[in-house]
Amino acid sequence: MKKLAAITALAVFATFASAQDAEVAAIELKPHASNPLGYDKTDLSVKAGQKVKLTLNNTGSIAPQPHNFILIKPGKDQAVGAQANAMMTDPQAMAKSYIPDASKEDIIANTKLVMPNATETIEFTAPAEAGDYPFMCTFPGHWLLMKGVMHVTK
């Protein structure tokens, strides 16, 4: 009887673990094939509080260059973009992956600067509040064109 209870408990745990794994939103972003200053996807959708596994795959662009991914609080994209532009005169900007220090409280998740023909995967939890969250690349000059929206739904 104890053996049966243990097997049943393991089966329930395995089912629960599989359900949790299925709840992870796996997203891959690349530079747009014909527009090196754009992502291949500009609209992403996840559920509020969902685990997200995002891979920035910096391959396939006609003009290879570094890129990053920064997910930002709603309404903060212009401020973060302006601060990213200001980093062009910062000698430490590359080491900081062009992620503005002044915007840390406005950034929900980010990759480091990903060089051409490289990838980086990050994992984070989607915001608990539904809404449209902007994302962008903050390498100099990119944020005006290389951007999109992560739609967080209930």
Q: How far is 99 from 68, CA to CA, in rounded Å? A: 9
Q: What local confidence, expressed as pLDDT, does residue 6 receive? A: 45
Higher pLDDT: 23 or 121? It is 121
Q: 130, 51 in Cβ contact below 8 A?
A: no
Instruction: Of 14-28, 44-58, 95-109, give the range with the top mean pLDDT.
Output: 44-58
Q: Which fold has domain 24-153?
A: Immunoglobulin-like (2.60.40)
Q: 146, 136 in Cβ contact below 8 A?
A: yes
Torsional sign, CA 113, 119, 122, 126: positive
| pLDDT tens digits along 81-91 | 999 999 999 99
Q: What are the E-state strand segments in the chain?
A: 25-29, 43-47, 51-58, 70-72, 107-110, 118-125, 131-136, 147-153
| Per-chain mean pLDDT for the chain | 88
| pLDDT tens digits along 8-39 | 444 444 444 444 445 999 999 999 988 889 99
Q: What local confidence, expressed as pLDDT, does residue 63 receive? A: 85
Q: What local confidence, expressed as pLDDT, does residue 60 receive? A: 81
| Mean pLDDT lowest among 2-11, 45-54, 114-123, 132-141 | 2-11
Q: What local confidence, expressed as pLDDT, does residue 22 receive? A: 54
Q: How far is 77 from 135, CA to CA, in rounded Å? A: 8
